Amino acid sequence: MSDQYDIIIGLEVHVQLQTKTKLFCRCSTTFGASPNTQTCPVCLGMPGSLPVMNREAFQLALKTACALNLNVPRFTKWDRKNYYYPDLPKGYQISQFDLPMSEDGFLLIRDPKGQFEPKKVGIIRAHLEEDAGKSMHDEVAGKADTRIDLNRTGTPLLEIVSQPDMRSPLEAKAYLNELKLILTYLGVSDCNMQEGSLRVDANVNLHIKSEEPKKVATPIVEIKNMNSFRAVERAIAYEATRQFDEWQETGKTIKDAPKTTRGWDDAAQITRPQREKEESSDYRYFPDPDLAPVTTTAEEVEAIQTALCELPMAIRDRLHDGYGIPEYDADVIVNQGQIAVDYYEALALKTGDAKMSSNWVQQDVLRVLKERDLEFDQFPITAERLATLLKAIMNKEIDTTRAKDVFTQMLESDKDAPTIMAEMGIEKVDDSAIDDLAREVLEANPKAVEDLKNGIQKAVGALIGQAKKKNPNIDPGTFRAKCIELVKDM
């Protein structure tokens, strides 16, 4: 953020829909196949071939539109967007122009850390279109070599275009995180950016703060080639600074220069100029004569809305309100996906301690998943088994430090916590034994007793260490409380 200007940010997100076949033909959408092996006369645009709409792709788009509060018109059509690229064999892209399949919605974003106020980001439209192919640039023996892979040609994309409502890179990242979560919870896309399933273009310019009544706006720049949300955040921050420096040098405003595109160079952490941006008239849109328009009834839309899963924002609110855990905790859990939410809820219900369950999921379960590069559904300890360990801690049968050792053993076997604790010789120490041990340690450490009487609470730490040497099964919290109680009576 700057006190000299406001950053104006709008995002265009292309989402590959999770269908088995392409948008207008039966070719597979499987990622990673050998180049040019997933093509046919239709997606290659051969003369005489005719496209047929993939109904599943349209249904997934409708589901997304409902989740994003978009209006779904009763009538939509297909248009040809004409331009030439080597990886666009037809010389046009089948898209939607003036009558998109959904428009005028919003997405609510919040930050659990409170770094910005909750905000509704408007969504102008979400429309279906087919993807182009891929140009692969290599340099072999000092010579440039470009090859074309058309496997991706015709893959179904949903383009989601936001209003320029975001005012910081942090808000843009929050919008993308929330959008990705919704798409994955709905099951409409895997949103794998490394495989091109989710691509982001950011439109950025500045409103310079001035005493003049009219705002001073810099030319709009569209940033491309960003392969992570962190890259989007950095690219926007860099571009804002670059545009302000350029405005100070040239004084050019949005009226003086056309919209341009710049590519993000992640290695150099800068944007680089690419080309001037075309206007819609340059694409010579016209209705595709080979595809029939699509009609959608109010009953179809209502049925999809009714069948929608619980969305991430609602789950966060439910976990926060229903289980009493902090908003940050709820956010971390929800960000791991529906399987993580189900796991946490099962654990919290089994233990009866929502906060302890949240702590263990965030700190220990997620740590293991990261260390072992596992998905949540691959975590080896079920919620029921982990609950046995947490209950043992709650019942003071084991302290947290030794519980971590039991947790490690549980990762390598199907045994529950009580079984492993028995094998490790861990057992609960009764109150009388704790009382006797506390008296013994206090009598042997008069200096610590004096410190405790003078309010130096850290003195009890050394006493706990001595007690653990005498009986490793002692519960530190219970022992600490007993020592403080006895000292008061001395």
311-355 pLDDT tens trace: 999 999 999 999 999 999 999 999 999 999 999 999 999 999 999
- DSSP 8-state code for residue 458: T
Q: What is the pLDDT of residue 2?
A: 76
Task: Count the neighbouring beta carbons within 10 Å of the beta carbon of residue 376.
Answer: 17
317-329 pLDDT tens trace: 999 999 999 999 9
User: pTM of the predicted model, to two decimals?
Assistant: 0.88
Task: Provide mean pLDDT across the span 426-437.
Answer: 72
Q: What is the pLDDT of residue 430?
A: 65
Cβ(262)–Cβ(270) below 8 Å: no
Structure tokens at 30: 């499987």
Task: Provide mean pLDDT across the span 218-246.
Answer: 96
Band the pLDDT of 452: cuts 50, 70, 90: confident
Report the distance separating Cα 264 and Cα 221, nearest Å.
Answer: 12
In this structure, which amino acid lies at residue 183? Answer: L
Conformation bin of residue 244: beta by default, left when phi > 0, alpha when psi is -120 to 50: alpha
Domains in the chain: ranges and CATH: 10-203+277-300 (no CATH), 306-423 (no CATH), 431-488 (1.10.10)
Band the pLDDT of 275: cuts 50, 70, 90: confident
Burial of 276 (0-12, 13-18, 19+ CB in 10 A): exposed
Cβ(410)–Cβ(420) below 8 Å: yes
Q: What is the pLDDT of residue 139?
A: 62
